[in-house]
Amino acid sequence: MKLRHPLSGAIYTKHGDDRVLVESADGQSGVFAPGARHLRGALREADPHMIGWVLSPDMQDRRTGTSRGNADQAGRPPGVGLPKLRTTTRNKKGRQDMDLGLTGRKALITAASRGIGLAIAQTFADEGCDVAICARGESGLEAARKDLEGRGDLKVFARAVDVAEGEAFKGFISDAAEALGGLDIYVSNASGGAGPGEQAWQASFDVDVMGAVRGVEAALPALEATDAGSVVFISSTAALEYLGVPQAYNAMKAALIAHAGDLSQALAPKGVRVNVITPGPIYFEGGSWEMIKQAMPEMYKGALAQCAIGRMGAPEEVARATVFLASPAASLITGANLVCDGGFTKRMPF
């Protein structure tokens, strides 16, 4: 099985039952296990989601079909775009629009060099927050840092770190809180990706679950010291309904929802709220759903057809929901799981 990464152009080739050979556009190569764990070779970074899809046992059966006719890449019919938001600070009657209370706050977001994580960091920055971000790749992180610094007079702290490396990750959080002068908000967004086998389960556990656990532990002293301590875990609708493939990703995202519920009760007396954002299919360049569209068009079309609003979501839509839920404007909300999926899931959410 061989796939080309739609963003970087790297070639991902199945290289045994639990290994993937990745060859970059500049000629470097490396061999990786599930979760993008580097095994050997000069190339040391790879996309964990792409590795998961290449290793998926039913990948071959789904590499047929065609893309949707006149719709754009995210399934939007011609002329249908994202809703526009007002940029003015006062409404038509002259009254001040709702203030999220984020000016001068400090927010930390993991896996924030692209996609949903970057959109969350950008939205916090646009609301006047100082931000700390991390990711594994240096180049993407540097580009994200420059983008955030260009959004206003704010502090940006960025460091390349693997969330699965517990002590290094905790050190990043402590250093970020010191550099920003505190921490009000912690958003756990990192994911170990998908894939079969025990290695994929371990990678998902180390990143998705233990990343959240360690992150809260390291951030808690700073969160307790503020009057607006807030934690948000990014889960997935794969935790709520059958996605089509039994895999670690689904179970670990469900574990996040359960753990957040426990934390919301335990940390409420300390003034720290804990909530979950659960996105459905989110389409962006280089993201999982673009890879699925390329590799498994029938699965992509099926997911698109299940979106009640007729399209997949965009990272900025998840970011807006996350930033609101994390903000002091949502001060009464804790222990909630806010599903952002455009009607993708069909359960009755009692």
Same domain, 21 and 124: no
Q: Are residues 43 and 125 in the same domain?
A: no
239 domain residue, yes or no: yes
Domain assignment present for residue 289? The answer is yes
On the question of pLDDT at 67 being above 50, the answer is no
Question: Does any domain span residue 130?
Answer: yes
Average pLDDT over residues 207-227: 97
| Confidence check: pLDDT of 244 > 80 | no
Instruction: Out of 186, 191, 230, 249, pick the active-site residue.
Output: 249
Nearest to 189 by CA among 91, 276, 97: 276
Q: What is the pLDDT of residues 75-111, one digit of tens each?
A: 654 444 555 554 444 445 555 567 899 999 999 999 9
CATH number at residue 216: 3.40.50.720
Band (pLDDT 50/70/90 cuts) for residue 336 is very high
pLDDT of residue 25 exceeding 70, the answer is yes
Identify whether 257 is part of a domain.
yes
In this prediction, residue 37 has a pLDDT band, given cuts at 50, 70 and 90, of: confident
* Same-domain check for residues 37 and 130: no
Q: Band of the pLDDT at 349, cuts 50, 70, 90?
A: low
Is residue 42 domain-resident? yes
d(CA 189, CA 337): 15
pLDDT at position 66 over 60: no
236 catalytically annotated: yes
Position of tokens 């970057």? 118
Catalytic residue list contains 253: yes
> Which tokens belong to 228?
């607006």
- Average pLDDT of the chain is 87
* Residue 66 or residue 74, greater confidence: 74
Q: Is 78 exposed, middle or buried (0-12, 13-18, 19+ CB in 10 A)?
A: exposed
* 235, 264, 288, 327: the active-site residue: 235
Tell whether 295 is covered by a domain. Answer: yes
| Residue 268, pLDDT score | 98
Which pLDDT value is given to residue 82? 58
Contact 114, 286 (CB under 8 A): yes
The reply to whether 170 and 279 lie within a common domain is yes
Q: Which domain holds residue 311?
A: 106-340
Catalytic residue among 113, 253, 283, 293: 253
Look at residue 65 in the predicted model and tell me its pLDDT. 40
Hey, what are 250's tokens?
Answer: 């689904």
User: What proportions of the chain, in percent to the nearest 5, are helix, strand and coil?
Assistant: 40, 20, 45
**47 Cβ contact list (under 8 Å, min separation 6):** 5, 8, 12, 36, 193, 286
Spot the catalytic one: 230, 236, 264, 327.
236
Task: Give the residues across from 22 on adjacent strands.
Answer: 12, 30
Whole-prediction pTM: 0.79
